[in-house]
Amino acid sequence: MAGSVSRFPIGPVVTDPELCLNRIHIRAGCSICVETCPVGAISLDDGVDLDRDSCVHCGACVWKCPVGVFAQRRLYEAELANIAEDAEGAIEIGCPLAAGGARAPLYVRLPTCLASLAPSQLIHLAETEAVFLDDSGCPDCPLDMGSVISEAAETANAWLSAWGRTGYIALSTAQAGSVAPDADTVVIELAEHVDRRGFFLALASGPEHIPERERLIQVLSQWPEPENRLVETDALGLAALEVKADLCIACGHCADFCPTEALDLSLEGSRFTLRFSPYRCVDCGICELVCQPTAFTRRTDIPVAAITAQVPLLEGGWHACKRCGQVTADHTGELCFWCGLEQNPPGVGTLLGRTPIR
């Protein structure tokens, strides 16, 4: 399939395999990048491997990866943001294959696939006005990225709604009736152009590996505090964690393994506090994998005000294990969880299933 697709004229995708969830925990089982890539350029056989000859620079992997393994410099993005900010009313955005100019008075054509548009970009573009994504070129495109574009729009709309913004994202082909391009529509063609100074600056420093969630929170932080109400976690890609007090042993493995520092275990005197930052959580499930006594449970909704806060999940007393000195919750008795296992070992399969291995 890669041979039938032309490479988009924008910067190459670069990788930082050390950030991959599968490097953090052997049983993370994340394959989002492989499932997203339309040309099979990504493999996970021996860490994250990107075939640069096959990659078409569509950039979908950049925002789909929850921990920022992929990055891409796109010099046109600042111009797109400025156009949306100055626009009076709705805008429509299309790719090189789209028909163009049907749903809004201003049409912006990107030099790449619409799948490159992350939810964080979309909510910034559509804070108060509608943004139409002209997906009319998708049926004839061999990349077949319609589902990724739709996912980005749905995720962006969920965040816009949670924060009470009036703008929204809509797919052009999902609108009622067919509309022919309007001769009065202003069309702006964006290109990946840069002056001489910018060119050398680009060579000197590669693109930043910033996870999509971090970019999204940067946008939300510029908006007024939303009305506090319950929202569904699935639509936002969040996890709402709770901890069973009688099972948590205060070992801190969940915080140690968390790839985004969404969990934090702090000790103050003889007390411990386990805190959770929902906005940092990418729902990778690693905390649940490494929790020996399976103390975590989940809710399906979360108060909006809690999303950007650091929420105390559990507070309690702790002491040092009599045998190894490891921090352990008071309810565990004299020995920590692991020393207790050595005295009363379970079956091998049970032990292996609970071991927090990297």
Q: How large a percentage of the chain has pLDDT more than 70? A: 89
Domain hosting residue 245, numbered range: 233-354
> Is residue 92 included in any domain, yes or no?
yes
pTM of this prediction exceeds 0.95: no
Residue that wins the pLDDT comparison between 41 and 347: 41
237, 264 Cβ separation under 8 angstroms: no
Q: Give me 17's structure tokens.
A: 């395999």
Can you give the pLDDT at residue 130? 94
275/181 same-domain check: no
For the cut 60, the answer to whether the pLDDT of residue 200 exceeds it is: no
Q: How far apart are the first and last CA of the chain?
A: 35
pLDDT in tens, 276-320: 999 999 999 999 999 988 999 999 999 999 999 999 999 999 999
125/168 same-domain check: yes
84/200 same-domain check: yes
Average confidence score pLDDT of the chain: 89
> Is residue 215 included in any domain, yes or no?
no
292/342 same-domain check: yes
Q: What is the CATH number of the domain that holds 256?
A: 3.30.70
Of 92-101, 280-289, 293-302, 327-336, the range with the lowest mean pLDDT is: 92-101
Can you give the pLDDT at residue 247? 96
247/325 same-domain check: yes
pLDDT in tens, 104-140: 889 999 999 999 999 999 999 998 899 999 999 999 9
Last residue within a domain, chosen from 27, 45, 73? 73
Rounded to the nearest 5 degrees, what angle is found at the Cα of 167, between the Cα atoms of 166 and 170? 135
Q: What number of residues does the chain have?
A: 358
Distance CA 342, CA 323 (A): 11
> Is residue 20 included in any domain, yes or no?
yes
263, 255 Cβ separation under 8 angstroms: yes
pLDDT in tens, 251-270: 999 999 999 999 999 999 99
> Is residue 171 included in any domain, yes or no?
yes
> Is residue 330 included in any domain, yes or no?
yes
Q: How many domains does the chain have?
A: 3
146 Cβ contact partners less than 8 Å away, ≥ 6 residues apart: 135, 138, 139
